[in-house]
Amino acid sequence: MKRITAPLDADTIDDLEVGDEVLISGVIYTMRDAAHAKVAEIIEKKGKLPFDLTNQVVYYCGPTPAKEGNVIGSCGPTTSSRMDKYTPMLLERGLKGMIGKGERSVPVKDAIAKYGAIYFSALGGLGAEYARDVKKSEVIAFPELGPEAIYRMEIEDFYAVVINDAKGNDYFVINQYN
């Protein structure tokens, strides 16, 4: 198990290989379908992004509402492939890490290798367990999107597995032939 910190620096990414189990601490930003569409629109119009993407990690997640006194509700990963259409343009602008579930498209895998980024799978359907790893959370953009808003989250020891590393390897493909 490797302990890493988000945002990610180049050394951390270089050290990670497909199949590695990691515990992530630091700051991540949630973004799912609707937030990606909005960010893509901003990029197209050359507007200002809600946060600087440089070295950041986005988490494909739309949490349940937090009960009173709690930081967040249930918050596991959603299917990553729905964001594939938007991912290369975010990587081009400095994004370094993504957390979601399931496999990525070929253009996304190519862009991950090209820009020296990394893709992790969290454990789908374990939203209650992940809620405990979120220490702080606030909506920083698109509050009108409800669960699809962008949340800035401070996490501690968030479990994930490296699926696509910066060397162009794919854990799901490797795993299939093992």
Partner 1 sequence: MRPIKCEKITGIVERMVIDANHFLPYDVFTCMKEAADLESTKKAKTVIYKILENHKIAKKGTYPLCQDTGIVVVFLEVGNETSTDGDIYKAINKGVEAGYAKGFLRKSMADPLTRENTGTNTPAIIHTKLVKGPHIKISLMTKGAGAENKSALKMLSPSDGIEGIKEFVLDTVRKAGASACPPFVIGVGIGGNMEMCAILAKKSLMRELDDFNKSDKNAAKLEAELFKEINKLDIGPLGFGGNTTALAVKVETKPCHIASLPVAVNIQCHSARHKTFTI
Among 26, 94, 116, 147, binds partner 1 (CB under 8 A): 147
Stretch that binds partner 1, among 7-15, 85-93, 95-103, 110-118 (CB under 8 A): 95-103
Among 2, 114, 132, 135, binds partner 1 (CB under 8 A): 132
Interacting residues of 77 by C-beta distance below 8 A, sequence separation 6+:
59, 60, 61, 99, 100, 101, 121, 122, 123, 124
Among 51, 55, 73, 140, binds partner 1 (CB under 8 A): 73
C-alpha 36/C-alpha 100 separation (Å) is 14
Token pair belonging to 66 = 């937090």
**Minimum CB–partner distance for residue 2 and partner 1 (Å):** 14
In this structure, the strands spanning 2-6 and 21-30 are parallel
Among 78, 87, 137, 164, binds partner 1 (CB under 8 A): 78
* Site residues (vs partner 1, CB under 8 A): 19, 21, 34, 61-67, 70, 73-76, 78-81, 101-103, 121, 123-129, 131-132, 146-147, 159, 161, 171-172, 175-176, 178
